Amino acid sequence: MSENMTIPYKIYLSESEIPAAWYNVRADMKNKPAPLLNPGTGKPMTAEELGGVFCEELVKQELDNDTAFIEIPTEIREFYKMYRPAPLVRAYCLEKYLDTPAHIYYKFEGNNTSGSHKLNSAIAQAYYAKKQGLKGVTTETGAGQWGTALSMACAYLGLDCKVYMVKVSYEQKPFRREVMRTYGASVVPSPSDTTEVGRKILAEFPGTGGSLGCAISEAVEVATTNPGYRYVLGSVLNQVLLHQSVIGLEAKTALDKYGVKPDLIIGCAGGGSNLGGLIAPFMGEKLRGEADYRIIAVEPASCPSFTRGKFAYDFCDTGMICPLAKMYTLGSSFIPSPNHAGGLRFHGMSTVLSQLYHDGLMEARAVEQTAVFEAAELFARVEGILPAPESSHAIRVALDEAIKCKETGEEKNILFGLTGTGYFDLVAYQKFNDGVMDDYIPTDADLEKGFAGLPKIPG
């Protein structure tokens, strides 16, 4: 930083600094992420096969490992202008509270009604569906952030939106459901009697509260059996990481204005989309040998895909109908313990991040949920924002690293992703406040059960 340039609390960019193109980190990867495989044939999924489920343009983006920059259509940039650029905040209050020499920055993506970064990809996916002349899209939602983001995007473009919401969440999170309905989405508790797979599951398990895997199966069935509909997914896929690169591109532009280079970049990892987006331009520099950054993915100790999973081909859904992806996985039958309250419960991980982690280009750390909520509470009190439990995984590690800097006297620049707000997660906060939250870490024997179900891939 030049001597007389004081860094403001918030580094705002102007509208014209919203990126004009998404950055595709795959273009700079020497070892490309492994292709999706057709579970029937064991062969890489073709564009034609994927086109039955996803929109054409999104299939192109999914399979494109070579184009570094993909232009963001004007219509999407216009939508981005309603809530972007997202602020990059210098956490002066937190630094002071911790009495650390570290400089802490966070990129805040909770500044829209859906309350998370998911809107960045929702609008892109809805836009390409509309452009293809489709009537609507289907999806699943667990906690509800993705369903909300997609509902907003579809309302803006006049697309029909059918959301299959895991039944327990549908009942426990009526407010999320009503937000989605307000934006015009139809929200169906899953399993439902509106699909064949739903009726089958209901017949077999009449009282079931549903699961993400089951909701995916229903959403895919509806998309593939109704003309004019396609299925969309809020994380994990290459296209989603591509759209989320706006997070990292903006963060880098803001930091570059003040000549700040992050030493450490930290993000929570569920399916990997926000982290993949945040690190994209930095990882690009690292892959091209232009700069070096330490990057840490943070995951729950109760769902430790990176730190204890296997790098193998697996199903993305519990229903085993989706293509196989090579990723760090706990097995598609793995379900985190019922007392797990902090989100990030997907059993696998983006194939892009899995490959980068496998190649030693990033690290991963697992944290326990009570420590995560302690970090969330401290952050809320000191920085003012009520963080989503998912985001609080990143906060936990940022705090730990800033405290380390205090011990060593190092003036490191720490950047982390604050992916969203926690207003709809107050049942989890209540557990923490009442002192009834505990930590369950799966045993090796628990994990073996999930690994036993990994598909056998020839070769």
Task: By CB under 6 A, name the binding residues for ligand PLP.
Answer: 116, 118, 145, 235, 268-274, 344, 388, 390-391, 419-420
- Specify the residue, 223 or 233, whose C-beta has the smaller distance to ligand PLP: 233
- Specify the residue, 100 or 116, whose C-beta has the smaller distance to ligand PLP: 116
| Angle, alpha carbons 154-155-158 (nearest 5°) | 80
- Least distance (Å) between residue 188 CB and ligand PLP: 20
- Phi, psi torsion values for 290, nearest 5 degrees: -90, -25
- Specify the residue, 229 or 231, whose C-beta has the smaller distance to ligand PLP: 231
Of 151, 210, 197, 144, give the one whose Cα is nearest residue 173: 144
| CA 320 from centroid of its chain's CA atoms | 21
- Least distance (Å) between residue 419 CB and ligand PLP: 3
- Specify the residue, 221 or 250, whose C-beta has the smaller distance to ligand PLP: 250
Half-sphere exposure of 107 (CA within 13 A, CB side): 32
- Least distance (Å) between residue 140 CB and ligand PLP: 12
Beta strands 160-166 and 186-190, pairing class: parallel
CA dist 164 and 219 (Å) reads 6
- Least distance (Å) between residue 169 CB and ligand PLP: 13
Which residue type sits at 348? G
CA dist 366 and 445 (Å) reads 18
CA dist 365 and 67 (Å) reads 31
- Specify the residue, 145 or 354, whose C-beta has the smaller distance to ligand PLP: 145
Please give the structure tokens belonging to residue 335. 């379900």
Q: Do 273 and 350 meet the contact criterion of CB atoms below 8 Å apart?
A: yes
Q: Do 46 and 55 meet the contact criterion of CB atoms below 8 Å apart?
A: no
Task: Indicate the residue whose CB is closest to ligand PLP.
Answer: 420
- Least distance (Å) between residue 151 CB and ligand PLP: 14
- Specify the residue, 271 or 319, whose C-beta has the smaller distance to ligand PLP: 271
Of 99, 64, 88, give the one whose Cα is nearest residue 406: 99
**What secondary structure letter does DSSP report for 27?**
G
Please give the structure tokens belonging to residue 240. 């989603």
CA dist 61 and 301 (Å) reads 32
- Least distance (Å) between residue 306 CB and ligand PLP: 11
- Phi, psi torsion values for 65, nearest 5 degrees: -95, 5
- Least distance (Å) between residue 116 CB and ligand PLP: 4
Question: Which residues, including other chains, have CB under 8 Å from residue 322's CB and lie 6 or more apart?
Answer: 39, 216, 220, 315, 316
- Least distance (Å) between residue 217 CB and ligand PLP: 20
- Specify the residue, 229 or 432, whose C-beta has the smaller distance to ligand PLP: 432
- Specify the residue, 116 or 318, whose C-beta has the smaller distance to ligand PLP: 116
- Specify the residue, 136 or 276, whose C-beta has the smaller distance to ligand PLP: 276
- Least distance (Å) between residue 220 CB and ligand PLP: 19
